[in-house]
Chain A
Amino acid sequence: MPYDVNHALEHPDIAGWALGALDGEDSQAFEEHLQSCDGCQAAVAEFEAVAQALKHPAPAVEPAADLQARTIAAVQRAAMAAKRPEKSPAKASHWWHLHWTSRFLPALTAVAAAAVTAGAFLGVQIFQAAAPAAASYNLAARPGQIGSATAVARDVHGGYEIQLTVKDLPKLAQGQFYECWYKGPATSAGQQQLVSGGTFSSSNGTVTMLTAASPGEFRVMEITVEQPGAGNQQGTVIASGSAQHLHDD
């Protein structure tokens, strides 16, 4: 039976009693009162359940600020992959372009706004001349860094799926994540062309990502350690390697 709130308000020691937080004299006095007070007994029963629950709170760990954006992007990638049409390169290019610009972009904006904007722009050029291709990479640690990685980029009709296996990458600080990049030749204006392949947080293991950048044009792959909020590449490059065994599927 629910306790009477008005009655309980007259006896605030109900809470301290249930929590075992009353000092000696207060505890003794409330115990005596409790013997003959049905109202307080009902309230104590309910507060004791709360006090019991309070003994086991989960640790207050917080997810990275960008995990929401990465989660939405992961679902959208899965949805795009499921919708991908059967072998039809011309249609596939159109489909990828449409979704890259209208659906995929908004979700990734929070994670890598600048890189994705560049990717969308580059995507038009890439897909106009898209040819099915695949490449493999061996990424070595940069001087002063540790770890290694291998990757396979596969044409999946309009985009490229990267299967990246990393080993013993440097430990991340709280809130940091790894980001995989495709690096292309500098533009005529001298700007470095970079397209994000995706982000991940395991220092060992295999992750699968999607990107619009063709390994035929963006031949260098880099892994950086980034902070949330940095859309373009701002972190330290920890490993890099060039496309090898470029071939048609």
Chain B
Amino acid sequence: MWVTDAAERLAAEEADLVAQIAAEDIEAPVAELYRRYGKRLFRFGVQALGDHGLAEEIVQETFVRLWRTAGRFDAEKASVGTYLYVIARSVAADIRKRPSSRPLRPVEDLDVPAQPDGTDRILDSLIVREALESLTTSHAQVLQLTQEEGLTQSQIAERLGVPLGTVKTRMFHGMRAMRAALGERGFHAV
């Protein structure tokens, strides 16, 4: 696990946002935490339950429960991000138990199949996606072409119409940027 000073500053900042919510100042801190975690929580919901509507419900209910328990949040025990995922996992479990939580669309229509719990694995995959999205297009592109399509460097060069040396350079800097982006997000290296 890579822990940076930036991550520690972020944790303190987010703990302060939760304290604001506990003090009933809702709109701005919830908006800020949504900006930081909303997409990730939504993607967690889609992966956990396989449905966009239920994923939206997870996001909304997670923040409602955050507000309800904000006064009891202890930054010494967990980061806000971890706390939100503990809540989201609990919400997902509640939705699974609900009679109406059956898939709302035929399985073949779903973009993403519902995953068994495996929360840690889901969270890691969400962080990887976010880190990938934080890279420049040219860096992300070469990494994705090799990982998703299995292309070699010369095949990537041909596909993009750039010199092989350019692909090598982009791949190197892309990997460095990816490593830094994962570290900033507290990724647990496998």
Contacts and interface: CB of A to CB of B under 8 A. Distances in A.
Contacts of A57: 125, 128-129, 132
Given A26-B153, A106-B27, A204 B63 contact: no
Interface stretch (A33-41, A58-66, A179-187): A58-66
Secondary structure class of chain B's binding surface, majority of residues: helix
A245 B52 CA distance: 35
A78 B111 contact: no
Nearest to A165: B100
Nearest to B21: A75
Nearest to B62: A71
B152 A22 contact: yes
B35 interface: yes
Interface in A101-115: 103, 106-107
Contact of B189 (A21, A26, A53): A53
Interface string A9-45: 1001111101111110010000000000000000000
A20 B145 CA distance: 12
B157 to A, nearest CB: 10
A20 B55 CA distance: 35
B152 A23 contact: yes
B163 to A, nearest CB: 13
B112 A59 contact: yes
Interface string B19-47: 00000101100110011001100110011
B68 A56 contact: no
Contact of B182 (A50, A72, A107): A50
Contact of A21 (B31, B57, B125, B146): B146
B101 to A, nearest CB: 8
A75 B24 CA distance: 10
A189 interface: no
B75 interface: no
A55 to B, nearest CB: 6
A203 B171 contact: no
B190 A67 contact: no
Given A55-B147, A56-B125, A75-B30, A16 B171 contact: yes
A55 B67 CA distance: 35
Interface string A73-95: 01110110000000000000000
B64 A58 contact: no
B17 to A, nearest CB: 13
B187 A15 contact: no
A67 B43 contact: no
A68 interface: yes
Contact of B111 (A51, A59, A70, A75): A59
Nearest to B146: A21
Interface in B45-71: 46-47, 52-57, 59-61, 63-64, 66-68
Contacts of A8: 172
A229 interface: no
B80 interface: no
Nearest to B145: A21
24 contacts: A9-B172, A12-B168, A15-B174, A16-B153, A19-B171, A20-B146, A46-B179, A47-B175, A49-B179, A53-B128, A53-B178, A58-B47, A58-B125, A61-B111, A62-B39, A63-B38, A67-B60, A68-B31, A74-B60, A103-B27, A171-B109, A202-B54, A204-B102, A205-B100
Closest 5 pairs (CB-CB, A-B):
A12-B172, A63-B42, A201-B53, A58-B125, A15-B175
